[in-house]
Amino acid sequence: MSIGGSDLDRAITQLRACKPIPENQVRELCYKARELLIEEGNVVGVDAPVTICGDIHGQFHDLMELFRVGGDVPDTNYLFMGDFVDRGFYSLESFLLLLCLKVRYPDRITLIRGNHESRQITTVYGFYDECLRKYGSVNVWRYCCEVFDFLALGALVTGAATSLTPTDGPIAESIQSMDIPDADCDIEIETLNAQGEIMYRYARNSDSQSSAASQANSNAASSSPIAPTPSNTGPAGTGATSSANGSSKSETGAVLCVHGGLSPLIDTIDKIRLLDRKQEVPHEGAMCDLLWSDPDEIDGWGLSPRGAGFLFGADIVKCFNHKNDLSLIARAHQLVMEGFKEMFESTIVTVWSAPNYCYRCGNVAAILELGEDGSNAGFVRRGNGERGGGGRGWVLGSNDGPNANGMSNENRRLSSVLGDSMGRPRDGPGRRYRVFEAAPQDSRGMPAKKPVADYFL
């Protein structure tokens, strides 16, 4: 049975109701998806505006909540950074729905590979067993694994606006309105909750403000968590470390999206394009690193406690961004209790989109919206992320920050978030984070662990 046109729309409707589609339709769907995906390069080009999402992990009802908060396909252009399956109860419905949407609206949804889109990992963490339980055979698991091999390894977003058009909405009750910059300011970052209420807004510093703030930092008490801003030390990549300022000459940039992180074998995006991705995820090498690595507060490269990939520091990110003319790296792969976490002076961000992970972690989730640059020039002032103070300060989205002491937990979660009272310069693409919680319990049903017996009289 061919799956196309009205058949595809019926399959989408059935999957949205969290009901698996017949095995023969899965086979046809996976075949059509492979036909589409094989035409995409290892690094997919994506034009802003786009909404970037992190791990889903089979939490189907939370995926529906994500679409409610961020807008439905095809009205919203989505980029999912992998880990669609495992852990959650509905990996099958989640992945097949995203695959149906990809086939139905190929230009409105981009799927890249995560470390869980792997035969070895899915046999351990749930997807294999789920397919066997729901279909009585592993055929569907095999079809999906063949699709995994064709998923891109990354995406490059161009045309993102430098600043945001502020949301015309109410301010969340827990936030003091005096802490929200005026809407006529040059807004760089805005955080909204699931009801569209403003939780945080950050106005970009002007160059004059930045230099004044840098002077203020140098005179600050030694107990300040923000290091004094050093003078520029030359182009990033020529001895610049995580605490160096680097060069400020590059003025354009794109946003690279990968599931995990960087690799010591990859110093240019072109090298990602040359990889042979149509295979099971290797145990080591560049492809493995892109799906498994994590940023960490270290210098250079380090061994990963995951047993695959590497840890990498701010200096690695700055050099890579500078060499590839990037303004930001977006990645997923790590649970973040606040839904998102910016590091290394906002040169890299982790986005996590599975709220209450594993139905017990209690975290919130987030999605990242990048707006479209009206001039279509993709102008981003920070091209390599090297401007500003030391890279060892607090991180956006964490509970630690320069103003963390004495704050309520609610306000600390969004961090001193951008509570940049010392005024460090931060120049990147305009970013709007939408933070949401797990779908209401009454909207989800717990699946049977064993298949329901068929009785024939």
Q: What is the pLDDT of residues 62-112, one digit of tens each?
A: 999 999 999 999 999 999 999 999 999 999 999 999 999 999 999 999 999
Whole-number pLDDT of residue 186: 83
Quick one: pLDDT band at residue 254, thresholds 50, 70, 90?
A: very high
Least confident of 91-100, 195-204, 248-257: 248-257
Count Cα atoms within 13 angstroms, Cβ side, for 328: 31
Helices 6-16 and 91-104, axial angle in degrees (round to 10): 150
CA–CA separation, 378 vs 287, rounded Å?
28
List the beta bridge partners of residue 434: 192, 367
Domains of the chain: 6-158 (3.60.21.10), 205-428 (no CATH)
Q: What is the pLDDT of residue 2?
A: 54
For 207-240, the pLDDT digits (tens) are 433 333 333 333 333 322 323 333 333 333 333 3
The structure tokens listed for 187 are: 């807004």
Give the pLDDT score at 405.
Answer: 41
Confidence of residue 168 (pLDDT cuts 50, 70, 90): confident
Q: In the prediction, which pLDDT does 424 show?
A: 39
Query: Is pLDDT above 90 for 205?
Result: no
Cα gap 265→287, rounded to integer Å: 9
Confidence band, pLDDT 50/70/90 cuts, at residue 167: confident
Model pLDDT, residue 413: 45
Q: Which amino acid is located at 370 in the chain?
A: L
Residue % of the chain over a pLDDT of 70:
72
Backbone phi, then psi, for 455, in 5-degree steps?
Answer: -105, 130
Active site residues: 116
* Predicted pLDDT at 243: 35
pLDDT at 253: 72
Determine if the peptide bond prior to 235 is cis (ω within 30°).
Answer: no
Instruction: State if pTM tops 0.85.
Output: no
CA geometry: angle 16, 18, 23, nearest 5 deg: 100
Report pLDDT for 3: 58
Residue 308 has pLDDT above 60, yes or no: yes
Mean predicted confidence (pLDDT) in 263-292: 97
Please give the C-alpha separations between residue 295 and each of 179, 349, 363, 428, in angstroms, as whole numbers. 30, 9, 20, 19
Q: Is the pLDDT of residue 56 over 90?
A: yes
Does residue 250 surpass a pLDDT of 70? no
Q: For residue 421, how many other CB atoms are within 10 A of its CB?
A: 13
pLDDT tens digits, 112-141 = 999 999 999 999 999 999 999 999 999 999
The span from the CA of 33 to the CA of 102, in Å, is: 7
Cα distance between residue 394 and residue 389, in whole Å: 11
Average pLDDT over residues 237-251: 34
361-377 tens-digit pLDDT: 999 999 999 998 765 44
pLDDT tens digits, 394-444: 345 544 433 334 444 444 444 433 333 333 334 679 999 999 999 887 666
> What's the per-residue H, E or C state across the chain?
CCCCCHHHHHHHHHHHCCCCCCHHHHHHHHHHHHHHHCCCCCEEEEECCEEEECECCCCHHHHHHHHHHHCCCCCCCEEECCCCCCCCCCHHHHHHHHHHHHHHCCCCEEEECCCCCCHHHHHHHCHHHHHHHHHCCCHHHHHHHHHHCCCECEEEEECECCCECCCCCCECCCCCHHHCCCCCCCEEEEEECCCCCEEEEEECCCHHHHHHHHHHHHCCCCCCCCCCCCCCCCCCCCCCCCCCCCCCCCCECEEEEECCCCCCCCCCHHHHHCCCCCCCCCCCCHHHHHHHCEECCCCCEEECCCCCCEEECHHHHHHHHHHHCEEEEEECCCCCCCCEEEECCCCEEEEECCCCHHHCCCCCEEEEEECECCCCCCECCCCCCCCCCCCCCCCECCCCCCCCCCCCHHHHHCCCCCCCCCCCCCCCCCEEEEEECCCCHHHCCCCCCCCCCCCCC
- At residue 180, the pLDDT reads 77
The pLDDT value recorded for residue 419 is 34
Q: What's residue 194's pLDDT? A: 92
Quick count: other Cβ atoms within 10 Å of Cβ 274? 10
The confidence score (pLDDT) of residue 15 equals 97
pLDDT of residue 343: 95
- Band of pLDDT at residue 389, cut at 50, 70 and 90: very low
Tell me what the mean pLDDT of segment 345-366 comes to.
96
pLDDT at position 5: 61
Distance CA 44, CA 257 (A): 9
Question: Is residue 390 over pLDDT 90?
Answer: no
State the average pLDDT for the chain. 79
Q: Among 265, 227, 226, which residue's Cα sits nearest to residue 420?
A: 226
Q: What is the pLDDT of residue 363?
A: 96
Q: What is the mean pLDDT of residues 289-295?
A: 98
Task: Select the more confidently predicted residue: 243 or 433.
Answer: 433
Residue carrying structure tokens 């303004």: 327
Please say whether the beta carbons of 179 and 418 come within 8 A: no
pLDDT at 256 over 90: yes
- Residue 303 confidence (pLDDT) above 50: yes
Output b/e per residue, 352-372; b: 16+ Cβ within 10 A: bbbbbbebeeebbbbbbbbbb
The tokens describing 283, both together, are 């145990």
Mean pLDDT, residues 275-285:
96
**Rounded CA gap, 342 and 396, in Å?**
5
Confidence of residue 454 (pLDDT cuts 50, 70, 90): very low
End-to-end CA distance of the chain: 29
Percent share of the chain, pLDDT over 90: 63
Cβ neighbourhood burial of 135 (10 Å; 0-12, 13-18, 19+):
middle
